[in-house]
Structures are given as structure tokens and as C-alpha cells.
């Protein structure tokens, strides 16, 4: 897990957080152990912002990946924070069994399953 946290920390440094200054990094591990990273990208028009988790997911999807094991997010907060609702929904659509590990810069971590973070999720079946 240290490798994933480190990858998310490195990705976080590439965040485009010029609106809020709030940088987030994510590292998404596929079922085969490949890691895709992402950082949040902000825009003054909030509608076009994208969170680190979805940047990592979309990067992996665009490379043909479809099976995922876990995602690590890193942010500079006192307590590790979970993905936002948009990210939870999007991740759930592609990886309902995903493990979510949230970390802060001091190394504090919190683990959860995506299904626990998004109970009774909307799924188009």
C-alpha cells in the first residue's frame, strides 16, 4: 500500500488547483497490479473541474483497463477524506468491489469499501 500512497502523493503535486489551492492525488490499481494516477484539475467554471479519482479512472479506462482492485487518495487534511459523490458514483459504475484507501500527507489512513461509501447507489441495469 505504501507504493500506492506514494504514487498518489506524486500525482497530487501535478494538481491544477489554482482556484482553491486544494490538491488531491489518486492512484488506481488494476486487478493485474498496474497503477494509474490522477490529480484534480480545476477551472474557474466549476462545471468543468475533475477530481483526481476520476482522472485516474478515466486514464485507466482510456487505456483499455476494466478491472480494478483499489484506489488510494491523498489530500492535505487533518483526517483522510473520502471521494466526493460524483466520484463515488462513477467509480461504482466501473468497479463496485473497489477498496478505497484515503490518506493524508502525514500518513494517516482510512480504509473502506466503495459499496459502504455509496449504499443504494443508482445503477443502470
Catalytic positions, written as ranges: 53
Write the Ramachandran bin of 25: left for phi over 0, alpha for psi from -120 to 50, otherwise beta: beta
Q: Does 87 bind Zn ion (CB under 5 A)?
A: yes
Question: In angstroms, rounded to a whole number, what is the distance separating the alpha carbons of residues 58 and 62?
Answer: 6
From 39, 51, 102, 103, residue interacting with Zn ion (rule: CB under 5 A): 51
Q: How far is the CB of 64 from Zn ion (least distance, A)?
A: 23
Q: Does 84 bind Zn ion (CB under 5 A)?
A: yes
Window contacting Zn ion (CB under 5 A); options: 68-76, 81-89, 98-106, 117-125: 81-89
Sites for Zn ion among residues 5-34 (CB under 5 A): none
Find where cell 487505456 sits.
63
What contacts 18, CB < 8 A, 6 or more positions away? 42
Strand partners, 3: none
Q: How far is the CB of 84 from Zn ion (least distance, A)?
A: 3
Positions in the binding site for Zn ion (CB under 5 A): 51, 84, 87
Amino acid at each position: 500500500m505504501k507504493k500506492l500512497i506514494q504514487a498518489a502523493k506524486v500525482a497530487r503535486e501535478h494538481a491544477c488547483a489554482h482556484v482553491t489551492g486544494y490538491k488531491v492525488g489518486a492512484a488506481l490499481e488494476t486487478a493485474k497490479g498496474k497503477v494509474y494516477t490522477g490529480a484534480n484539475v480545476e477551472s474557474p467554471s466549476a462545471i468543468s473541474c475533475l477530481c483526481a479519482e476520476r482522472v485516474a479512472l478515466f486514464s485507466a479506462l482510456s487505456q483499455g483497463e476494466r478491472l480494478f482492485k483499489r484506489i488510494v487518495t491523498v489530500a492535505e487534511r487533518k483526517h483522510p477524506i473520502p471521494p466526493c459523490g460524483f466520484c463515488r458514483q462513477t467509480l461504482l459504475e466501473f468497479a463496485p468491489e473497489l477498496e478505497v484507501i484515503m490518506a493524508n500527507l502525514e500518513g494517516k489512513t482510512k480504509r473502506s469499501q466503495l459499496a459502504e461509501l455509496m449504499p443504494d447507489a443508482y445503477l443502470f441495469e
